[in-house]
Structure 1
Amino acid sequence: MFGIGASEIFVIIFIAVMLFGAEKVPELARTFAKGMAQLKNATDDIKNEIQKSAQENGLDQKSLTSGFDTQFGDLKKHVDDIKDDLASNNSLDVTSITAEIDSEILKAKENLDDLTGPIKRQR
């Protein structure tokens, strides 16, 4: 739950027994559990109040995300179309594309080498 393993729990229980005594540990555990339950109920109430307020103002999750869903669907269709086009047209000249990319990389490296001032590359 909190990333605590069995050995850590054992150490915590051992320290609690040593500090408070065996008689008070169950009472402390009940008090802690009641506090956690109250905290959970309070956060649930706040969450429900925010959702209720959003729905009253016409802001629900579906209306907020519907635009993203349609845009994502259109983008996915476009990418699939490009992928299909590339699969059907195997006449791409990969060497010319990589040569253009390499030339752009070299230009960027030259620009970095020409930098002066506090951000000059260290060699």
Structure 2
Amino acid sequence: MKLLVDELLCRQNEFIGRQVTVTGVIFVNLENKSFIKTTRESELSINVNYSFAERLLDVVPCYVGGEYLYSDECEIEGRLEFYNNELYLNELNFIKIFRDDEVFICPSKRPIDNG
């Protein structure tokens, strides 16, 4: 089941500790912060494990000169976790980036995790 970020936030208690597939817009900045929102204008977001960013750089060209390396439509599969009073997607299995007419897939041979 694919969920938008807002849908997942409304039903987060059902999915904490479980693998989920989330669609939205991924934002990755130079300050080791990444998060996904339903739309660019949405105020609510879910943090995304930043350790995937280096792998993403190998697969998807980043934007240069702006606030974000990435701000693209995406689909992410990972485990929803809650700690430090925030929601996170960890143990990422893949990230798909949709840009113009292209789809970039950043798979993981093993889950992308904090460790």
User: TM-score with structure 1 length normalisation?
Assistant: 0.17
When you count helix as a share of all residues, which structure comes out higher? 1
User: TM-score with structure 2 length normalisation?
Assistant: 0.18
Q: Which has the higher contact order (CA 8 A, sep 6+)?
A: 2
Larger radius of gyration: 1
When you count strand as a share of all residues, which structure comes out higher? 2
